[in-house]
Amino acid sequence: MTGKSPEGVTFVTRQDDGWLIGVEVVETQRIPDSSDILAVYEAELDPDTELVSYRRVRRYPRGRGDDD
């Protein structure tokens, strides 16, 4: 999708017309890795699991994923 490797899946939601999936990626790698910048993308898939759309919904420093 973005050319970045996924860190993990944050959620999977079944919808009437497919799936909504949250994927966390490292957007900017830094040294030390505790200062990396992470992002969560929402990916919408159709019933055949083909990508329909995606968008970045959050961006944050590593270790602050639950802070607003």
How many other C-beta atoms are found inside a 10 Å radius of the C-beta of residue 4?
Answer: 14
Q: For the chain, what's the residue count?
A: 68
Are 46 and 61 contacting, i.e. CB atoms less than 8 angstroms apart? no
For the chain, the structural domain boundaries read 6-61
pTM of the shown model: 0.79
Residue labelled with tokens 């966390």: 24
**Quick one: which of 25, 53, 51, 21 has its CA closest to 38?**
25
Distance CA 17, CA 14 (A): 8
Q: 57 near 68, Cβ under 8 Å?
A: no
Spell out the per-residue pLDDT of the chain, length 68, in tens. 678 888 899 999 999 999 999 999 999 888 887 889 999 999 999 999 999 999 999 999 987 766 55
